[in-house]
Amino acid sequence: MANIRVLIAGGGTGGHIIPALAVARELVDRHSAEVLFVGATRGMEIKLVPEAGFNLRLVNVGPLNSVSWLTRLKTLYQLPGAISDCKRLIREFKPGVVFGVGGYASGPGLSAALGLKVPTMVFEPNAMPGLANRMVGRKVTASAVNFPAAAAWFNNCQVTGIPVRPEFFMLGQPDVAKPHLLVFGGSQGARIFNNQLPTVIAKLLDAIPGLTVLHQSGTRHDGVTEAAYVGSGADPARWSVRPFIDDMPACFGRASLVMARSGASTVAELAAAGKPALLVPFAAASDGHQKRNAEAMVSSGAAVMLNEWDLDAGSRLLDTLVGLLSDPVRLRAMSLAARTQAHPDAAERIARRLVELATA
């Protein structure tokens, strides 16, 4: 097989980078491909890509969507230079295909590839595509999405799902006799979860005998969140606050119910693990994509959704949690529904399409 080179453009958040890294590993391990990442001078790729052992080149470009006019003008000013830099990288690296994963650097990378007539493929993890992917979706050679609803925005599209760590697919069912609630709002935590869960925790534990709760608060909020739990008077033997959870698959495995945001990676992990969920979309997410993700899971029967403003009335949150945790039959049905949304071969399918494009 000819030497396969793939340039992966994009980043910003873990939701963009983590699936991209899974695909990169698949390209290297199964297809002996050479992979180069191009990212922005801000974003999680600066840390995660080198840690994973891949080369990273940076371009100076910022956000366009859901930002102030001043920030948008600054980014528009940066774009021509970022596209020019990406063209230079493509000429140097000579990839057979450019793979856009969304985020700041995805648009310039794909625009440069389209200008140079290099095959392109985009990946869209959300039910509502991000701005960068919407701008190029009809122009790319091929595309891969997680939700069928997103396919309408793209050319030559396949529903592949989101690459998820294999550990999530290996989890069994939790002990019905030991109900357990896992609460997390992403790696940085969710302030609204940190504020509202302590207000209902005592009543929740009283309503569900034997229930235990693990709450990931985020590293900047663990002290305040734990103090709020202590102040609630709830039995400290039945709840735990952690700033960060290292082994998330293991914590998923113990959970009867997960309360979380509805970012694309979280939703994919819930599906892979077969976990029923109470989803609270981040209201400020660009293009309302978290709400679209949550709605897709609700439609499948895998989740219940509350809006952020629903949590302001503690009784709505309490009633919803009690209703779910006191109904193991319903939780089991939600678990089975979640599994129908899982894609265990996502990384392999995406990598295979990239190889086909690069060697066509």
The pLDDT of residue 75: 58
**Mean pLDDT over all residues of the chain?**
90
In angstroms, the Cα distances linking 77 to 72, 82, 261, 358 are 9, 10, 33, 32
137 lies in which domain range?
5-164+344-359
Structure tokens at 260: 């979380």
Q: Do 184 and 89 share a structural domain?
A: no
C-beta separation of 97 from 78 below 8 A: no
C-beta separation of 77 from 96 below 8 A: no
Q: Do 19 and 155 share a structural domain?
A: yes
Q: Do 145 and 186 share a structural domain?
A: no
Q: Do 295 and 200 share a structural domain?
A: yes
Q: What is the DSSP string of 71-99?
A: HHHHHHHHHHHHHHHHHHHHHHH--SEEE
Q: What is the pLDDT of residues 236-277, one digit of tens each?
A: 999 999 998 888 999 999 999 999 999 888 999 999 999 999
Confidence of residue 219 (pLDDT cuts 50, 70, 90): confident
The pLDDT of residue 208: 98
Q: Do 14 and 29 share a structural domain?
A: yes
Q: Do 104 and 212 share a structural domain?
A: no
Domains in the chain: how many in total?
2
Q: What is the pLDDT of residues 222-232, one digit of tens each?
A: 899 999 999 99
Q: Do 91 and 28 share a structural domain?
A: yes
C-alpha span between 252 and 269 (Å, rounded) = 9
Structure tokens at 88: 């230079």
The CATH number for 232's domain is 3.40.50.2000
Q: Do 290 and 197 share a structural domain?
A: yes
Q: Do 232 and 120 share a structural domain?
A: no
Q: Do 248 and 196 share a structural domain?
A: yes
Alpha helices in the chain (DSSP H): 14-31, 45-51, 69-93, 106-115, 131-136, 191-207, 222-232, 248-254, 264-273, 289-300, 308-312, 314-325, 328-339, 346-359
Q: What is the pLDDT of residues 171-194, one digit of tens each?
A: 988 888 899 999 998 655 588 999
C-alpha span between 75 and 159 (Å, rounded) = 31
Distance of CA 291 to the CA centre of its chain: 13
Structure tokens at 144: 């891969």
Q: Do 153 and 64 share a structural domain?
A: yes
Q: Do 84 and 51 share a structural domain?
A: yes
